[in-house]
Structure 1
Amino acid sequence: MKKNITVQCKNISKVPLTKKNIETLIEDLLDKLNVKTLKINLIFCTDRELKDLNAEFRNKNEVTDILTFPNSDDFPHGLKIKEKIKINGDIFIARDHSLKKAVIKKISHTLELKHLIIHGVLHLLNYDHKETDDDFLEIEESILGNKIH
């Protein structure tokens, strides 16, 4: 079955990745997980924008590096990845905050952004920190190596 992957990027010129880099990364992840369809909006935003979203949707008045919002019409809560459903959603990544985290972790900004993109896609695929934290780590490291944690 042919893959149907659509990635729309906003403000990509402000990060050290190309749309092709991102599409290849996501294709590699979906191959590993046997997922055929994904449609996402990937938005690289300011720390302030992400802080405002975090306050509005999570009641946390602090910046975070990533927020992921599944489109509930296409991804009813509780469906599992094995059902190979159509996934839609938005991933917001804070550009400056991700750079700060990369410096702290002593990795490149590119690697940190790739890590966050994978992390966001996993959330859209219903991976949850409470139940699948080990799976998160295993999948992220299988794509990017163990330098990300």
Structure 2
Amino acid sequence: MSNQPTPDLEKLTLSSDEVVVPKGPGFVPTFLYYFSGTALVTTFLAVKILGVGLDTGIPNQFGLLFGIVGGLVGTYFNQGKVLEIPFTSRKTFLREFQQVLDEKGYSQNPDASDDEIRVYQRPVLRQLFSGKIYVHLTEKRAFISSRAAHLRWLKKRLQ
């Protein structure tokens, strides 16, 4: 082994803190998920409602059109994103953050949380359509990861 100096570990740790929270699926996977589901359902409904076969191409055109719209709308609301919020007092931020989450029925899951990441979720049935909120706190910043719609709502309420 050579006795060469190692890189500055503090800088590596600080820069890696920003990506500690799980981000979730980005634009492309989310778009493809909602596009394909909407396109398939619309194509099937067009065949049944219009009474024409797939060989005419009409149901496929409806599927493509509605698939694009459904993909864009689904991506706008459900794409995974990370929000960074600066704060001056960790204690005050956590109190305000918990009050905001209480309004929507979120509570911290102590079994899923650890020293670095806090996990907030709704009760089981409501969680099926809302997902989780992941929070990583540094000295002066909070990194919050969740669906885009949740992050837009949180940003309005916390800033």
Query: Structure 1 length as normaliser, TM-score?
Result: 0.23
Structure with the greater alpha carbon radius of gyration: 2
